[in-house]
């Protein structure tokens, strides 16, 4: 019998996809000639918010800004650990204005915000495990930013190299299940990084390329419930076998921009 998992109440920051569109291409998923169904995107996004609240989580909302179509991807805006906010400096010039709006929200909410000197894309590449930060690099966030993160938070940072452009952010290839374990797609990482993950998490839930391509690893877990793309059926089954409870939420319209559940969710850790 799988062990019983214990959920922990979370606080999330999100941004409505009122102006969501694919107007440029900054990752392999984005094709500007493909139209986005904004109404469908808003319906899917609202279903995610309802799912969070139905499971007892707190959700704060940031007002979207015209001309910033990727602002819905709140996870890229910062990483928050112990009530301290490490902001973002986007790789793509098109997204850099987003940082100011998120910084304003955090400051208004009473947080101090650190502005990184190096390219850094928030929780897209910085994953807090409860003990240390897993930090992705290779396509967006730089190793210099990893050093800044360690100096700012005073927690160890484990650098991991991403090698597949389709999984350009760490949160497309890996997510934290609870304080002790993760799920990830090994082939998204360099050989050395795969060895590091195998040593740190010998009991990890391993995903296939199909799972990852369905954005099954762009999931959010509260320690028991895993909010996951319904298309990642095999991964959901493996999670169920381990005692987690998959909560399918379809955000397939956001895949046109290379995003999913986690991309749309910034966690605020006090």
pLDDT at 4: 81
Annotated catalytic residue, options 15, 57, 91, 263: 263
Nearest in space to 221 (alpha carbons), one of 209, 204, 199: 204
Instruction: Kindly give, in sequence order, each residue whose CB lies less than 8 Å from that of residue 7, ignoring residues fewer than 6 positions away.
Output: 55, 56, 222, 223, 224, 225
Neighbours of 121 (CB within 10 A): 31
pLDDT at 235: 98
pLDDT at 1: 41
pLDDT at 196: 98
Edge to edge, the sheet with strand 220-221 lists 220-221, 225-228, 245-248
Query: Does the annotation mark 91 as catalytic?
Result: no
- The Cα–Cα gap between 161 and 238 comes to 25
Query: Does the annotation mark 120 as catalytic?
Result: no
CB distance 85 to 109 below 8 Å: no
Q: Please identify every stretch of the chain with a pLDDT value under 50, giving residue numbers as ranges.
A: 1
Annotated catalytic residue, options 57, 169, 225, 264: 169
pLDDT at 2: 57
Query: What is the value of pTM for the model shown?
Result: 0.97
pLDDT at 29: 98
CA-based torsion, 114, 118, 120, 125: positive or negative? negative
- The Cα–Cα gap between 252 and 239 comes to 20
In the 3-class helix/strand/coil scheme, how is the chain assigned residue by residue?
CCCCCCCCCCEEEEECCCCCCCCCCCCCCCCCCCCCCHHHHHHHHHHHHHHHHHCCCEEEEECCCCCCCCCCCHHHHCEEECCEEECCECCCHHHHHHHHHHHHHHHHCCCCEECCCCCECHHHCEEECCCCEEEEECCCCCHHHHHHHHHHHCCCEEEEEECCHHHCCHHHCEEECCCCCEEECHHHECHHHHHHHHHHCCCCEECCHHHHHCCCCCCEECCCEEEECCCCHHHHHHHHHCCCEEEECCCHHHHHHCCCCCCCCEECCC
CB distance 43 to 17 below 8 Å: no
CB distance 14 to 74 below 8 Å: yes
């Amino acid at each position: 019998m799988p062990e019983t998992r214990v959920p922990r109440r979370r606080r999330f920051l999100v941004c409505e996809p009122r102006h969501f569109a694919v107007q440029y291409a900054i990752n392999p998923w984005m094709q500007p000639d493909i139209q986005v169904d904004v109404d469908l995107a808003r319906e899917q996004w609202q279903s995610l918010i309802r799912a969070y609240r139905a499971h007892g989580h707190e959700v704060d909302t940031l007002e979207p800004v015209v001309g910033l179509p990727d602002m819905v991807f709140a996870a890229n805006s910062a990483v928050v650990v112990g009530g301290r906010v490490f902001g973002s400096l986007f790789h793509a010039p098109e997204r850099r204005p987003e940082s100011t709006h998120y910084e304003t929200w955090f400051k208004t909410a009473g947080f101090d915000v650190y502005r990184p000197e190096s390219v850094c894309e928030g929780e897209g590449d910085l994953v807090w495990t409860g003990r240390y930060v897993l930090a992705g690099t290779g396509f967006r966030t730089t190793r210099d930013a990893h050093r800044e993160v360690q100096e700012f938070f005073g927690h160890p940072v484990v650098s991991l190299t991403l090698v597949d452009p389709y999984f350009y952010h760490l949160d497309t290839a890996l997510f934290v299940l609870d304080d002790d374990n993760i799920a990830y797609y090994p082939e998204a990482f360099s050989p050395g990084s795969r060895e590091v993950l195998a040593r740190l998490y010998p009991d990890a839930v391993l995903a296939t390329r199909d799972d990852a391509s369905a954005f099954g690893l762009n999931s959010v877990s509260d320690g028991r419930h895993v909010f996951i793309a319904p298309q990642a059926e095999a991964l959901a089954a493996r999670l169920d076998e381990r005692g987690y409870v998959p909560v399918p939420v379809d955000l397939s319209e956001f895949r046109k921009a290379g995003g999913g559940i986690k991309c749309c969710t910034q966690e605020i850790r006090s």
